[in-house]
Amino acid sequence: MKSHVKRQARGSRALFFSATVVGGVLTLSIFAFMVILGLPLFSTHSLTLLLTQKWAPDQGLYGIFSFICGTCAVVSLSLLVAFPLSLGNAILIHLIAPRRLARFLHQVVKMMTGIPTVIYGFVGIFFLVPLVREWFSRGSGMSILSAALLLALLISPTMILVFLESFAAIPVSHIRALEALGGTRRQKLVHVILPGARTGIMTGLLLASGRALGDTMIALMVAGNATAQPESLLDSVRTLTAHIALVMAADFDSIEFKTIFACGIILYLWTAILTLSLRHLHFNSTKPSHDQSF
Amino acid sequence: MKKIIEIKNLSFYYGKQQILDNISAEFAASAITAITGPSGSGKSTFLMTINRLWEELNGATMSGRVSLFLDHEKLDIYGRDVSLSWLRRKVGMVFQIPNPLPMSIYRNLALPLRMAGLPKENFGQKVETALKQAFLWPEVKDRLRDDARTLSGGQQQRLCIARAMILEPAILLLDEPTSSLDEKAAREIESLLLTLKDQCTQLMVSHDQAQVKRVADEVMEMVAGRMS
């Protein structure tokens, strides 16, 4: 009996170990694949050139810096809009709204996570872009602002759901302790819920930034795809993902085409940093604290 | 006997299930009253009707009247003009399982003062007094910044009692405060409760008959939602 259990445990360990190895090798292979396919580009254009030159293929310039800036601008602004919106919504659903309304809102948020990105893109083109064009009377309306607002709408449900999960994970005993001490709803939020859900809030933020970073459709449909360096929120930009999609649709063997692997490597490293930050956060959140501030 | 709590025709329902059945009772001031009875007889629910903590639960309803005699005045705690925060500062509560908040020992005690809007300058003194009162000061005076969850179970429960007492409540509700502790820690809590008797009235739910004999001035038994 004992040897049977041992054999089973050994089998499970081997299975999980193999799955981990296969997963890891596959992920690293994708990275290696991008580096190898991008080699012709890297042999003629150093990383410095790629990061400093402008994008002008007709002049032999293949700089992707403006795409990195465009991606940063769209992702940061979308997070800036989505974070307070999502936190507020999560607090409303968890703490303030009557039960029925809370349940309804929770369902709506869950449903929103399943809406295809292209639908958001349509809403952007036919509703948001004309609105931005009218409000600011400048440009086509296809801009960092439009893309960021739409992306904020796209990533908010993910953030709200992660926030709600982290709120629900707070031990009831902590909540009861505060209630028994006469804590108001606001005090419960400030002293127990938000500090207790800190890791969950950061996780939601990082997951949402990963989603915003990886989104292609909204950036492609609404950001305008201009290759010039953006100077204001109303400028059109091309994001890294949109660049990959645009070039892939039109080309397959030029140096211009090879730049998509440089974009891919940057996106890969960016996502890896986000993932490692998440792991670091979870690891640190399990340690008891020593309060320096009293 | 000077009474401090008066209950009249108290019934409590959770959904359709009746938990408390038309209870009327009075509790003496500056005494420890033990409430005993089998599991599921409604003892903890009864305690929660005195600080209105049951209102945080979904699907519960209550009828009847609970009055407190504070500062020579009779107060219906379910009256419209009674603030829930004020009531819960006057009626402290300690739970079965110690529940220190995930913050430092000092902040666990300073938080109720902060929430009550008391001046920050007095926090240090009040925290020290509360810890001394709970016989915890010698053990924690050098580690006030440490996470309260690093204390032992008995120390955590004494911290929770100190936290409830720091706001100087008139009544302290104790829901089986020693049931999750070992014999030694339980005895320490019992001694602590006896020293606090002059400062506040205590209502203690307990299953331990020996403990009830050791600390209680009065004993009430609850069976199937009725009190005798």
On whether residue A117 sits in a domain, the answer given is yes
Residue A155 pLDDT: 95
pLDDT in tens, B166-223: 999 999 999 988 888 888 888 888 888 888 888 899 999 998 888 899 989 999 998 8
Contact A183 B115 (CB under 8 A): yes
Interface with chain B: mutation pick from A291, A292, A293, highest number of B CBs within 10 Å: A291
Q: In this predicted structure, what is the pLDDT of residue B205?
A: 93
Q: Do A294 and B104 touch (CB under 8 A)?
A: yes
Q: How many CA atoms lie within 13 A of B114 on its CB side?
A: 14
Tell me whether residues A291 and B145 touch, CB distance under 8 A: yes
CB pairs under 8 A between A and B: 86
Which of B53, B93, B111 is nearest residue A191 as measured by Cβ atoms? Answer: B111
Count the domains in chain A.
1
By Cβ distance, the residue of B85, B89, B107 closest to A294 is: B107
**Is B150–A288 a contact, with Cβ atoms under 8 angstroms apart?**
yes
DSSP one-letter code for B209: H
The secondary structure of B121-189 as a DSSP string is GGHHHHHHHHHHHTT-HHHHTT-TTBBGGGS-HHHHHHHHHHHHHTT--SEEEEESTTTTS-HHHHHHH
Residue contact A183–B85, C-beta within 8 A: yes
| pTM, 2 dp | 0.84
Residues of chain B positioned with their CB less than 8 A from the CB of A103: none
Distance from CA of A268 to the nearest CA of B (A): 37
Instruction: Report the residue of chain B nearest A192, measured CA to CA.
Output: B101
From the list B53, B103, B110, which residue is nearest A179 (CB)?
Answer: B53
Answer yes or no: do B89 and A182 touch at CB < 8 A: yes
Q: Which residues of A touch B142 (CB under 8 A)?
A: none
Closest CA–CA distance from residue A186 to any residue of chain B (Å): 10
Residue B13: beta bridge partners? B18, B61
Tokens of B1: 């006997």
Residue A105: how many other CB atoms lie within 10 Å: 17
Q: Is residue A53 part of a domain?
A: no
pLDDT of residue A288: 56
What is the ipTM for the molecules in this complex? 0.90
Contact with chain B for residue A288, Cβ under 8 A: yes
Question: Could you tell me whether strands B32-36 and B60-70 are parallel, antiparallel, or unpaired per DSSP bridges?
Answer: unpaired
Top residue of A101, A181, A186, A286 to mutate, by most chain B CBs within 10 Å, is A181
Q: Is residue A167 part of a domain?
A: yes
**CA of A98: which chain B residue's CA is closest?**
B58
Whole-number Å distance between alpha carbons of A90 and A169 = 13
Q: Which two tokens stand for residue A21?
A: 């190895």
- Contact between chains at B147 and A176 (C-beta distance less than 8 A): no
Domain annotation covers residue A251: no
pLDDT digits (tens, 9 = 90+) for B73-128: 888 999 888 899 999 999 999 998 999 999 999 999 999 999 999 989 889 999 99
The β-bridge partners of B34 are: B204, B219
Q: Using a CB–CB cutoff of 8 Å, tell me whether A186 touches chain B.
A: no
pLDDT given at position A1: 56
Burial class (CB in 10 A: 0-12, 13-18, 19+), A208: buried
Query: What crossing angle do the helices spanning A65-91 and A198-214 adopt, rounded to 10°?
Result: 140
Closest residue of chain A to B124, computed from CA coordinates: A294
Averaged in consecutive runs of 10 residues, what is the pLDDT profile of chain A (294 residues)? 81 93 93 86 79 85 90 96 96 93 96 92 92 88 94 95 95 93 93 92 91 92 90 92 89 82 91 85 62 50
Share of chain B above pLDDT 70, in %: 100
Domain that holds residue A97: 72-238+274-286
A100–B contact, CB cutoff 8 A: no
In single-letter form, the type of residue at position B129 comes to T
**Within a domain: residue A107?**
yes
Kindly state whether residue A227 falls inside one of the protein's structural domains.
Answer: yes
Residue A42 inside a domain? The answer is no
Give A-chain residues touching B102 at CB under 8 angstroms: 174, 195-196, 289
In a domain, A36, yes or no: no
Instruction: Give the residue on B whose Cα is nearest the Cα of A182.
Output: B85
Task: Return the pLDDT at A111.
Answer: 94
Q: With an 8 Å Cβ cutoff, are A182 and B115 in contact?
A: yes
Q: Give me the CATH number covering residue A172.
A: 1.10.3720.10
